[in-house]
């Protein structure tokens, strides 16, 4: 079950109950499956809102192994936040796992509007807060939950994962090998 | 060298160039050395600004070992941010390592003012952004830098550490035992 998708202006209305609009234009664009939105060495210049599709963020460790750090689903903001805030190069890959429709805000417009706009500051605060909480949750889950518990939670919160994302990617997200994931799935559905 | 300390209103002026004031009162209070500001199970209800002194945040792992996660110095905001944002109990200890003067904002006042106040949203955004960046930096440093490199960086950025914080605490922050820290110090100052 994919949630009905909406736009940034609807997100603002739902979250802040404001009728105030963003003081700049956004851009809505379609991207094909496997399109790489940003890769290591590039500087993040956009704040993205996922209208439809699934996006992954991934790091490649120094030993060459890949780790999927997050999946993003419709109605979520996503970007390489530390690169955006510091304007230093990112160390992540961000890739469309399906065809995606993405609405984007230019950081230049956003940053300029921070001086005077209440709604832009509210949105910037919300994005930073949610990114912080997501990070803390992931760290805590990795330390305190088994791969099996994390799999069951992912399925519960995002049942659409199984339709949209390959098992090898789910295994990379859970930090286990695909065979272990097969065992976990067999047990979870007993 | 301890930086000259200032207040939240001066911080706002320096960071946002605003003359707009916070739409609520803050409380300035002195705390003695070793005073515990928050401990696991409590819910964070304040946003703190350190006017003078040093504060540590610490977690106790399930195996009983302690890990110091951060030191805070004058002119920094600090609180248990995930507890503040979710209003769920914290899992950290936050303790004054020296006598401290702390200016505090009540989260209730802060949260209420978020609806209409530009300066409160700017401040909330800044605190969340800085907390996010600090977290990312610590994670990255733990993965990519040796304890020796992290010690040298800490001394460079915060030379006052050595006067204010015991070596056993610095070792707990670096995640090493005190003997290893003695060796690192001997080599660093050769």
User: Is 90 exceeded by the pLDDT of residue B47?
Assistant: yes
Helices (H), chain B: 8-16, 81-86, 107-113, 118-144, 147-157, 161-164, 167-174, 178-188
Closest approach of A89 to chain B, Cα-based (Å): 14
ipTM > 0.85 for the complex: yes
User: Is 70 exceeded by the pLDDT of residue A190?
Assistant: no
Q: Where are the domains of chain B?
A: 8-144
- 3-state SS class at A67: strand
- pLDDT tens-digit series, residues B108-153: 999 999 999 999 999 999 999 999 999 998 888 887 888 899 998 8
CATH topology assigned to domain A8-144: Jelly Rolls (2.60.120)
Please tell me which of the candidates B62, B114, B131 has its beta carbon nearest to residue A132: B131
Binary contact (A82, B124; C-beta < 8 A): no
Q: Which of A115, A118, A133 to mutate to test the interface with B (most CBs of B within 10 A)?
A: A118
Longest dimension (CA), chain B: 56
User: Is 70 exceeded by the pLDDT of residue A160?
Assistant: yes
- pLDDT tens-digit series, residues B8-24: 999 999 999 867 889 99
Please tell me which of the candidates A118, A136, A144 has its beta carbon nearest to residue B82: A136
Binary contact (A82, B139; C-beta < 8 A): no
- pLDDT tens-digit series, residues A62-71: 888 888 989 9
Radius of gyration of chain B (CA): 17
Name the interface residues of A facing B (CB cutoff 8 Å): 62, 81-82, 85-86, 114, 116, 118, 121-122, 124-125, 128-129, 131-133, 135-136, 139, 144
Name the interface residues of B facing A (CB cutoff 8 Å): 62, 81-82, 85-86, 114, 116, 118, 121-122, 124-125, 128-129, 131-133, 135-136, 139, 144
Question: Cα A94 from chain centroid?
Answer: 9
Give residue B113's pLDDT. Answer: 97
DSSP code of A88? P
CA A187, CA A40: separation in Å to the nearest integer? 38
């Amino acid at each position: 079950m994919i949630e009905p998708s909406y736009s940034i202006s609807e997100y603002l209305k739902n979250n802040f109950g404001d009728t105030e609009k963003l003081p700049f234009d956004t851009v809505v664009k379609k991207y094909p499956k496997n399109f790489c939105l940003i890769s290591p060495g590039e500087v993040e210049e956009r704040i993205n809102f996922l209208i439809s599709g699934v996006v992954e963020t991934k790091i490649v460790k120094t030993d060459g192994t890949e780790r999927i750090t997050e999946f993003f689903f419709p109605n979520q903001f996503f970007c390489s936040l530390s690169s955006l805030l510091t304007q230093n190069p990112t160390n992540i890959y961000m890739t469309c796992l399906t065809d995606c429709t993405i609405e984007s805000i230019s950081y230049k417009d956003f940053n300029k509007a921070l001086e005077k706009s209440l709604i832009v500051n509210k949105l910037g605060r919300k994005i930073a807060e949610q990114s912080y909480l997501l990070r803390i949750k992931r760290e805590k889950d990795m330390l305190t939950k088994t791969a099996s518990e994390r799999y069951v939670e992912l399925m519960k919160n995002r049942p659409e994962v199984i339709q949209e994302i390959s098992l090898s990617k789910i295994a990379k997200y859970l930090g286990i090998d695909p065979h272990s994931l097969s065992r976990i799935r067999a047990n979870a559905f007993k």
